């Protein structure tokens, strides 16, 4: 019994067998009880037609008829049985083998072989299942790839400041470097960079897990735009990049965590400043349209080539790795910003006409009810 329960093919075969059996038995029973009376009725009418008694012949005829019916039933049952074997083995192959394939593939995936896929045959539910299975495998592979990449990226980001601290320390120990404040300042700088990286990573992991707690309040966008601009004003002046704010009067209010929004604007303005040469200009414009408040940070800087645009919100993504490294960027700022804006049910997008043609980052936020 267990053998039948554990095998889909056998289950199918036995279900066919039951149908055949019921068919044969019901036919036999009907023939046994109904056929003689029907036969007698017809023969009786023939008897009156032909006139005279035929009772001796009748008995013979009835017996022969019964044997014939049983013979036919026997042959038909044999044919039906053979058909059941053929059909069930065919159907089994069509149903069981894809299922078996998926079972094997899922075991391989469980062993960490995420490149495993199954063949999609036909368009039935099994094909749908195979397709979903492949999709799941693809998502798992991507997640695994991202995890591996994250670890690689973090290790890479840690390596540079650590090795630079190590070499300064060795220099101090060997007496090659003087023990003076400039040397210690270098170490301090690298340590701050590490600290910032750790803070960013912490925030990133919280953001990616959807664990950002927002302290929402109704605010005028002008308030946090000005707050961010004031904090960076000196740095803009020092570099010789103009910072202009263009906001319409009576902007509609938005429901936001103002500290987080200031942080996003600091990120965007910081980037705009970093990637714009002296003499350039950065402008922040804010306006409203129907039910959205829109804030655009536009710069006249180095721009972003179109093939990089769709990647810049990915963590650790830098358009030019060597260039940004000297600037100290690790490529997390925009990732965090995007998560923060999306936590506010808003959108953050980037646009750039191309290299050296400036960039525009646009925040869209729903207006407070």
Ligand X SMILES: Nc1ncnc2c1ncn2[C@@H]1O[C@H](COP(=O)(O)OP(=O)(O)OP(=O)(O)O)[C@@H](O)[C@H]1O
Contacting positions for ligand X (CB under 6 A): 267, 271-272, 275, 299, 301-304, 312, 317-319, 324, 329-335, 359
- How far apart are alpha carbons 221 and 257 in whole angstroms? 11
Phi then psi for residue 366, to 5 deg, are -70, 140
Which tokens sit at 89?
């083995």
Least separation in angstroms between residue 146's CB and ligand X is 16
Q: 327-331: which pairs have CB atoms within 8 A and are 24 or more residues apart?
A: 327/274, 328/193, 329/274, 330/157, 330/197, 330/200
Contact track, Mg ion, 245-274, x by CB under 5 A: --------------------------x---
Nearer to ligand X, 263 or 271 (CB): 271
Least separation in angstroms between residue 145's CB and Mg ion is 24
Of 85-93, 233-241, 317-325, 331-339: span binding Mg ion (CB under 5 A): 331-339
Site membership for Mg ion, residue 333 (CB under 5 A) = yes
Least separation in angstroms between residue 278's CB and ligand X is 15
| Residue among 188, 98, 102 nearest 137 (CA) | 102
Of 26-34, 107-115, 309-317, 332-340: span binding Mg ion (CB under 5 A): 332-340
Least separation in angstroms between residue 233's CB and ligand X is 18
Q: Which ranges in the chain belong to alpha helices (H)? A: 2-5, 8-50, 55-110, 125-174, 181-208, 221-239, 258-274, 306-309, 321-327, 333-343
DSSP 94: H
Least separation in angstroms between residue 327's CB and ligand X is 7
Site for Mg ion in 269-298 (CB under 5 A): 271
Least separation in angstroms between residue 139's CB and ligand X is 24
Site for Mg ion in 114-173 (CB under 5 A): none
Sign (positive or negative) of CA dihedral 43, 45, 51, 53: positive
Nearer to Mg ion, 88 or 271 (CB): 271
Site membership for Mg ion, residue 330 (CB under 5 A) = no
Number of residues that bind Mg ion (CB under 5 A): 2
Least separation in angstroms between residue 100's CB and ligand X is 47
Query: Which are the contacts of 304, defined by CB distance < 8 A and separation ≥ 6?
Result: 312, 319, 350, 352, 355, 359
Nearer to Mg ion, 315 or 344 (CB): 315
Nearer to ligand X, 16 or 316 (CB): 316
- How far apart are alpha carbons 244 and 229 in whole angstroms? 9
Which tokens sit at 77?
């049952």
- How far apart are alpha carbons 260 and 262 in whole angstroms? 5
Least separation in angstroms between residue 158's CB and ligand X is 14
| From the list ligand X, Mg ion, none, partner contacted by residue 318 (C-beta under 5 to 8 A by kind) | ligand X
Nearer to ligand X, 104 or 199 (CB): 199
CA 44, 50, 52, 56: dihedral to nearest 10 degrees? -60
Which tokens sit at 2?
């267990």
Q: Sheet containing 292-299: give its strands across.
A: 242-247, 281-289, 292-299, 359-366, 347-351
Least separation in angstroms between residue 166's CB and ligand X is 23
Nearer to ligand X, 161 or 303 (CB): 303
Sign (positive or negative) of CA dihedral 72, 78, 84, 90: negative
| From the list Mg ion, ligand X, none, partner contacted by residue 89 (C-beta under 5 to 8 A by kind) | none
Residue 191 CB neighbour total at 10 angstroms: 13
What 3-state DSSP class applies to 218? strand
| From the list ligand X, Mg ion, none, partner contacted by residue 137 (C-beta under 5 to 8 A by kind) | none
| From the list Mg ion, ligand X, none, partner contacted by residue 317 (C-beta under 5 to 8 A by kind) | ligand X
| From the list ligand X, Mg ion, none, partner contacted by residue 269 (C-beta under 5 to 8 A by kind) | none
Of 22-30, 130-138, 282-290, 329-337: span binding Mg ion (CB under 5 A): 329-337
Binding site for Mg ion (CB under 5 A): 271, 333
């Amino acid at each position: 019994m267990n053998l039948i329960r554990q095998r889909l093919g056998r289950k199918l075969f036995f279900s066919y067998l039951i149908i055949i059996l019921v068919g044969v038995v019901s036919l036999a029973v009907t023939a046994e009880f109904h056929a003689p009376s029907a036969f007698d009725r017809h023969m009786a009418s023939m008897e009156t037609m032909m006139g005279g008694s035929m009772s001796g012949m009748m008995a013979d005829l009835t017996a022969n008829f019964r044997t014939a019916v049983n013979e036919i039933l026997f042959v038909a049952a044999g044919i039906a049985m053979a058909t059941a074997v053929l059909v069930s083995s065919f159907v089994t192959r069509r149903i069981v083998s894809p299922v078996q394939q998926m079972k094997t593939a899922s075991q391989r995936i469980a062993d960490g072989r995420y490149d495993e896929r199954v063949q999609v045959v036909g368009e039935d539910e099994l094909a749908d299942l195979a397709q979903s299975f492949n999709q799941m495998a693809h998502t798992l592979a991507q997640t695994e790839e991202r995890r591996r990449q994250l670890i690689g990226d973090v290790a890479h980001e840690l390596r540079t400041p650590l090795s630079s601290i190590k070499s300064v320390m060795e220099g101090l120990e060997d007496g090659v470097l003087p023990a003076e404040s400039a040397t210690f300042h270098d170490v301090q700088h690298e340590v701050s960079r590490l600290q910032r990286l750790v803070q960013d990573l912490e925030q990133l992991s919280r953001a990616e897990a959807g664990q950002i707690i927002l302290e929402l309040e109704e605010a005028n966008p002008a308030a946090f735009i000005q707050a961010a601009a004031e904090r960076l004003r000196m740095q803009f002046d020092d570099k010789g990049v103009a910072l202009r704010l263009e906001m319409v009067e009576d902007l509609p209010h938005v429901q936001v965590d103002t500290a987080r929004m200031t942080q996003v604007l600091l990120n965007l303005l910081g980037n705009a400043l970093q990637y714009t040469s002296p003499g350039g200009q950065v402008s922040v414009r804010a306006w409203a349209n129907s039910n959205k408040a829109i804030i655009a940070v536009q710069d006249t800087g180095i721009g972003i080539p179109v093939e990089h645009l769709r990647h810049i919100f990915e963590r650790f993504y830098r358009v030019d790795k060597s260039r940004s490294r000297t600037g100290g960027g690790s490529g997390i700022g925009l990732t965090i910003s995007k998560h923060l804006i999306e936590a506010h049910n808003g959108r953050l997008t980037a646009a750039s006409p191309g290299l050296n043609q400036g960039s525009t980052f646009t925040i869209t936020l729903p207006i407070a009810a």
